[in-house]
Amino acid sequence: MFSMTLLYSLVFIIILLALSIRILREYDRAVVFTLGRFTGVKGPGLIILIPAVQQMVKVDLRTIVLDVPTQDVISHDNVSVHVNAVVYFRVLDPQKAIIQVEKFYDATSQLAQTTLRSVLGQHELDEMLSEREKLNADIQEILDKQTDAWGIKIANVEIKHIDLDDNMVRAIAKQAEAERERRAKVIHAQGELQASEALLSAANVLSQNPQSMQLRYLQTLSDISGEKTNTLVFPFPIEFSQIFKSKD
């Protein structure tokens, strides 16, 4: 009878120890409640809880990667885009993360979605595409301020993709093509202007010296004669006839 009682006692003690002992990893913390009241944060390593009296909620202190689902955003210039992002955050204060908010992961996810739509909606499409780093910093700052009361630190925010509707993609392609054509015409016009200015300058120089005009004419004839053709037609300058008349 005594041996059976001892055996039962040993089994009870083993079960009690199994329910009391917890081993937490280096990145884990236990938020402990005693009879429903917060009594401290324990860990890492070996901790002991009183069964049926104390309960714990384990919190991971490592950086958490939160994938923000794709959001439909209307930009400031009324362009509809689809945007998704990723948020990196970690728990700095386990007590606040458990007591101040219910399911801090879901709360951070919902806050990130609404903040993403709110911030991007204040900017035009060109700013979204060209100033992504600035938008990332703005979203991070807003999230960090709002999650500070939850004991959460927003480490980084990255906008991954900004997708446009097919109609908007075609419209942007047409706009880019029109811009390229405009630049090509401007460059062509500038080239024509520079060429005309150079020709005018050359004409002024040649007009001041008739012999230079004749030498230029003879050089042109030499260039034409080098072409592979049987017939050459070229104008005869009036100045040459005047030279021949002067010889007569």
Domain shared by 35 and 89, yes or no: no
What's the pLDDT score for residue 169? 59
Q: Tokens standing for 76?
A: 């400031």
The confidence score (pLDDT) of residue 68 equals 94
Q: What amino acid is encoded at 78 in this protein?
A: N
Whether 18 maps to a domain, the answer reads yes
Question: Distance between CA atoms of 122 and 27, rounded to whole angstroms?
Answer: 39
**225 and 194 within one domain:** yes
Q: Which residues of the chain have pLDDT under 50?
A: 243-244, 246-248
- Identify whether residues 129 and 87 lie together within a single domain: yes
What is the number of domains present in the chain? 3
Q: Domain check: are 124 and 208 in the same one? A: no
**Residue 240 neighbours by CB distance under 10 Å:** 11
* Residues 75 and 151 occupy one common structural domain: yes
Does one domain contain both 71 and 141?
Answer: yes
**pTM of the entire structure?**
0.67
Output the pLDDT for position 247.
Answer: 47
Distance (Å, whole) CA 95 – CA 28: 13
Statement to judge: residues 74 and 144 lie in one domain: yes
Q: Is residue 4 part of a domain?
A: no
In a domain, 180, yes or no: no
| Paired residues of 177 in beta bridges | none
Q: Are residues 84 and 149 in the same domain?
A: yes
Per-residue model confidence (pLDDT) at position 228: 61
Q: How far is CA 47 from CA 31, 40, 95, 96, 181, in A?
A: 11, 12, 17, 21, 73
Co-location of 88 and 154 in the same domain: yes
Residues 79 and 73 sit within 8 Å (Cβ to Cβ): no
For residues 45 and 79, state if they share a domain. Answer: no
**Coil, strand or helix at 248:** coil
Which CATH number characterizes residue 146's domain? 3.30.479.30
Whether 177 maps to a domain, the answer reads: no
Angle at CA of residue 92, ends 87 and 98, nearest 5°? 90
- The one-character DSSP state at 150 is G
Same domain, 45 and 86: no
Identify whether 169 is part of a domain. Answer: no
**79 and 55, same domain (yes or no):** no
Give the residue carrying structure tokens 């700095």: 92
What is the residue range of 71's domain? 64-164
Q: Which of 131, 164, 197 is the last residue of a domain?
A: 164
